[in-house]
Structure 1
Amino acid sequence: MRVLGIETSCDETGVAIVDTAPWEAGKPAGMGLLGQALYSQIAMHIDYGGVVPELASRDHIKRIIPLINQVLKETPGGLEDIDAIAFTQGPGLAGALLVGASVAKGMALALNKPVLGIHHLEGHLLSPLLADDANINFPFVALLVSGGHTQLMKVTGVGEYTILGETLDDAAGEAFDKTAKMLGLSYPGGPAVSNLSKTGNPSTHQFPRPMKHSGDLDFSFAGLKTSVLTQVKKVTAANNGHLSDSAKADVARGFVDAIVEVLVSKSISALKQTGLTTLVVAGGVGANEQLRESLAQSCAKEDFSVHYPPMHLCTDNGAMIAFAGAMRLKKNPQLATKHWGFDVRPRWPLDDLE
C-alpha cells in the first residue's frame, strides 16, 4: 500500500510517499519511504520572533502543490499508484491545517481514493520507526518533546497510547524559545540556545530542576524560565546593562543542563515504573545533542535501549504523517473514508485519539 502524506500543522510544509511492502516483507521500516519534500518557513517568521498564523497559512497554499509534484516526480510510479492519502488533521493552527486538509480531500475526491486524518503527535510518536536501522518493538515508553508538548507515554501499539505524565505549564520547547528571547537570540530559539550552551561554563549557574523529585512523571518548566529571567536581569544589572556573549553562553549552559537533567530523570523513572526497557524519543527537542548524549549514557547504565527518528525527521514533516497513516491503515483498513468535509481539529488531545 502506498500512502501520500501531507503535513501543514504549523510552519513546515511537508509531503512524502511511503509504501508498506518492505515492512510486510520483514525489511527495515525506513526502506518504505519512497520520497519526501519539506519547506520550512523559518526565514519568513524570523523577523516576528515566532510563527504568524496568517502568513503561515498563505505560504502553505503557495508551497504545497509544487512540493507534491516534486515528490511525485522523484517517486517511481505516479498518482494512479497512490492507494490512500493521509493529512494532519490536528492539533495545530486552524488555517494551516485547513490548507492540508483541503488539498488532501480534493485530491482524494478527484482520484477516488480513501483519505485519513492523522493526529500530528501520533506522527511524531511513530517517526523513529522510519529509521533504516529501526529495531523497535511494541510496547515502549515514548518521550515526546516538541515545541508545544512534553509528554511521557506508554505505547502498546498503533493507536494504543497511555499518557504517563505531561507538562503542567510550559513545554520544554516553549522554555527553550522563551530563554532564547531573554538572551536576545534569533528564532527558532531551541537550536540557538543549544548551540550557545556548548561554550558556556557548567559551574556558573545552577538553575532549579523543577519536579525532578516530585514522585510522579509530570513536568513543569515555568519556574525554570522564571529563574533564568531573574538571573539574566541580575547579571545584566551587574554589568551596567550589558550581557556579554560569554555571560549569555553561561546562562544557556545552565538552562540546558537543568532541562536535560529533568527530561532524562523522568524518562528513566518511566521505564522503571512500567517495567519496559525501550525508550523512543520524538519531536523537535529530540534533536538536541545534549539530550541525546545524556539519555544514551543513562539508558546504557540501566541496560535500557533508546531510539530516535533520523535527524531530518525530528521536525514536522510529511513522512511521519504518511507513515502513521500507513500503519493505521495496515492495522485497520476500515479507517480510510471517502468523506470530503474539511474536518480539522486545532485542539486535539492525544488521549482523545481513537
Structure 2
Amino acid sequence: MNNPAVALGIDTSAYTTSVAVYGAEGLVAEARQILPVPQGQRGLRPSEAVFYHVRHLPRLLEQLMPVITGRPVAVVAASIRPRPLPSSYLPPFTVGEGWGRSLALAWAVPFRPTSHQEGHIQAGLVGAGWQAREPFWALHLSGGTTELLRVTPDFPGFRIEWAGGSDDLYAGQFIDRIGVRLGLPFPAGPQVEALAKSLDGEPAPVPVSMPRLIEGAWRVSFSGPLTAAERLLQQGYTPAQVARGVELALARTISRWIRRATAPASLLLVGGVAANGFLRHHLRETLPDYSLHVAPPELSRDNAVGVAALGWRSLTQPGED
C-alpha cells in the first residue's frame, strides 16, 4: 500500500529556523533551531539572520529526510513575508522562500507561499484543536508584532483585517529588553517567566498602558512601562519583582485592550508571547465571557507547523480538514 502524501512547511523568521511535515493525520514531524544572539545584545541584524538560516536549513531538512523519503511530498509551503501584505518584507524570509521554491521544482509539486502571521494563526488553531468556521479575533503577540486582528477563514487560508496594534514597542520587545537588562539571554521570554515564578513577595509596581482610540483603531504602548521597569530596577527592586511586575503590566494592558476594542467572542492567542503562562491565566480570569483559544507553548513560539498545515489544506477541499 502506498504511503500517504504530506506537505513540507518552511519558516525562516527573525530568530528561528523551522521545518515541519504535515499530513492527513496532523503533524507528522518538525524540527527547529533558535538563532544565536550574543549575550547582552537585543537582537540580530537581518543579514545575520539570513546567514544562520542558510546554515541551519540543510541540517533541519536532513533531520526530516527519513519522513520525507518514506512519504511523498505533495506540496511545499513557505512563509515569504511577515504579514499577508504586499508591502510586508523581511530579508530572512527569502531564505525559506528560495529553498521552498527550489524543492517544489525538484519534486515537481506545487509551491504554496504564505506569511509568518498566517502560519502563527494556523499553528494556533492546530494546537488548540479548534477548526474555526466563522470569523474570530486573533491577538498576535511577539517580538516583531503586537496586533489585534479580525480573522475570517477563507480556504485554504484567511482574510485578515487589522484592528489595532502597538504605537512603539511590541509586547515581545518589552519583555526582551527588560530581560537583557536583567542579564538574561535573548530572546528572554522563557527566562523572564521562570524568574517571575521565583518571586516571594509583591511585584514591582510597573504601570499599565491605557489603550487609546486613534483614527478608528485601538492602540497600546509599552515604552512607558519599559522605562518605569528599568527605573524600578535601579531603585532596588529585585529581578524577580521586576520580572513579575512586567508580566502583570503586560497582562493587564492586553486585557484592557481587548475589552476596549472588541465585544465578547472567540479569541485566538498566538505568537511567542502567547506562550507565557501568567498571561494566559490572567486573560482567562479577566475575560471569562470570551471563548479563549490558546495553543501549547511550543506551537505559540515560532514554528513551521502552521505553514505546513496551510500547505496541506491547499490540497484538500473546504470542510475536509
Q: TM-score with structure 1 length normalisation? A: 0.77
1:2 aligns with 2:6: yes
Flag the structure with higher strand content: 2
Choose which of 273, 283, 292 in structure 2 pairs with 1:306: 292
Superposition pairs of residues 291-302 of structure 1, within 5 angstroms = 291-300=279-288, 302=289
**1:69 corresponds to:** 62
1:248 aligns with 2:239: yes
Superposition pairs of residues 1-354 of structure 1, within 5 angstroms = 2-19=6-23, 21=24, 31-42=25-36, 45-46=38-39, 48-74=41-67, 77-78=70-71, 81-91=72-82, 94-131=90-127, 133-157=129-153, 158-200=157-199, 203=202, 205-212=204-211, 217-235=218-236, 247-272=238-263, 277-300=265-288, 302=289, 304-327=290-313, 330=316
Seen in structure 2, the aligned counterparts of structure 1 residues 181 and 46 have a Cα distance that, compared at 3 Å, is: closer
Letter in 2 for 1:228: A
Instruction: Give deviations 1:32-90, integer Å, cap 9, x for gaps.
Output: 21221112224x54464433544432332222123223223135733xx2221111201
Contact kept in structure 2, 1:5 and 1:87, CA below 8 Å: yes
Contact kept in structure 2, 1:10 and 1:93, CA below 8 Å: no
CA–CA distance in structure 1, aligned partners of residues 315 and 294 of structure 2: 23
Q: CA deviation at 1:151?
A: 0.8
Letter in 1 for 2:269: V
Q: Which runs of 5+ in 2 are unaligned?
A: 83-87
Letter in 2 for 1:140: F
Q: CA deviation at 1:116?
A: 2.1
CA–CA distance in structure 1, aligned partners of residues 135 and 235 of structure 2: 47
Q: Larger radius of gyration, structure 1 or 2?
A: 1
Letter in 2 for 1:266: W
Seen in structure 2, the aligned counterparts of structure 1 residues 185 and 68 have a Cα distance that, compared at 3 Å, is: closer
Q: How many pairs are equivalent?
A: 304
Q: CA deviation at 1:211?
A: 1.8
Seen in structure 2, the aligned counterparts of structure 1 residues 48 and 206 have a Cα distance that, compared at 3 Å, is: closer
Seen in structure 2, the aligned counterparts of structure 1 residues 97 and 280 have a Cα distance that, compared at 3 Å, is: same
CA–CA distance in structure 1, aligned partners of residues 222 and 317 of structure 2: 37
CA RMSD of aligned residues (A): 2.6
**1:24 corresponds to:** none
Contact kept in structure 2, 1:84 and 1:114, CA below 8 Å: yes
| Fraction of identical pairs, as percent | 29
CA–CA distance in structure 1, aligned partners of residues 286 and 234 of structure 2: 34
Instruction: Give deviations 1:241-263, integer Å, cap 9, x for gaps.
Output: xxxxx711112221211111111
Deviates more, 1:7-16 or 1:91-100: 91-100
Q: CA deviation at 1:283?
A: 0.2
Q: CA deviation at 1:128?
A: 1.7
**1:25 corresponds to:** none
Seen in structure 2, the aligned counterparts of structure 1 residues 321 and 202 have a Cα distance that, compared at 3 Å, is: farther
Flag the structure with higher helix content: 1
Instruction: Give deviations 1:111-166, integer Å, cap 9, x for gaps.
Output: 22221221111111221221273354421111110111111111121321111111
Contact kept in structure 1, 2:10 and 2:20, CA below 8 Å: yes
Question: Helix, strand or coil: the match of 1:188?
Answer: coil
Letter in 1 for 2:273: V
